[in-house]
């Protein structure tokens, strides 16, 4: 069995013998002169300036696009009236939506509670009948409690 390095050694020794004692006569080319640094640095600074101008233009364009899409204050349908933080991540928000006030509880996973607290309920909820304005007195509630205890 012939090994590959044996073949390579015989091939390389044959090449060296055929080139003769003086070598191949190859002379490497002369190294080019060292370039000046000022024009290179000037081009580098100009390219960095162009990249920064493109990024600044992009940032200004995004800012103008977001700013122009906002609704003027007098034409807004939703307005955040107040916000009360219950912790670091949960809050109550009082929102006015088209003249109606809505209380919303929000946490990182989304809206947890939504309650309409103002407005004309009869027009918003079909079949709604308001309770009588006379609430029971404390004495009436206590007598009802005593009657329920005696019945049990």
CA distance 98 to 104: 15
Q: Which of 54-63, 95-104, 112-121, 125-134 has the lowest mean pLDDT?
A: 125-134
* 42-93 residue pLDDT tens: 999 999 999 999 999 999 999 888 776 666 666 667 888 888 888 888 888 8
What pLDDT, on the 0 to 100 scale, is given for residue 99? 73
CA distance 65 to 57: 12
Question: Are 82 and 94 spatial neighbours (Cβ–Cβ below 8 Å)?
Answer: yes
**HEC profile for the chain?**
CCCHHHHHHHHHHHHHHHHCCCCCCCCCCCCCCCCCHHHHHHHHHHHHHHHHHHHHHHHHHHHHHHHHCCCCHHHCCEEEEEEEECCCCCEEEEEEECCEEEEEEEECCEEEEEEECCCCHHHHCCCCCCCCCCCCCHHHHHHHHHHHHHHC
Which residues sit opposite 113 in a β-bridge? Answer: 105
What pLDDT, on the 0 to 100 scale, is given for residue 132? 58
* 136-150 residue pLDDT tens: 666 777 777 778 777
What pLDDT, on the 0 to 100 scale, is given for residue 121? 46
Report pTM.
Answer: 0.34
């Amino acid at each position: 069995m012939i090994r590959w390095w044996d073949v390579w050694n015989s091939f390389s020794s044959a090449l060296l013998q055929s080139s003769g004692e003086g070598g191949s006569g190859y002379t490497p080319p002369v190294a080019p002169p060292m370039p000046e640094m000022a024009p290179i640095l000037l081009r580098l600074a100009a390219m960095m300036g162009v990249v920064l101008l493109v990024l600044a233009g992009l940032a200004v364009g995004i800012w103008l696009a977001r700013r122009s899409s906002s609704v003027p204050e007098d034409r807004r349908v939703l307005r955040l009236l107040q916000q009360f933080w219950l912790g670091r991540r949960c809050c109550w928000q009082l929102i006015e939506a088209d003249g109606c006030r809505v209380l919303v509880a929000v946490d990182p996973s989304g809206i947890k509670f939504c309650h309409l607290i103002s407005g004309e309920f009869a027009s918003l909820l079909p079949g709604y009948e308001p309770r009588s304005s006379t609430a029971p007195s404390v004495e009436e509630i206590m007598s009802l409690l005593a009657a329920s205890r005696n019945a049990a």
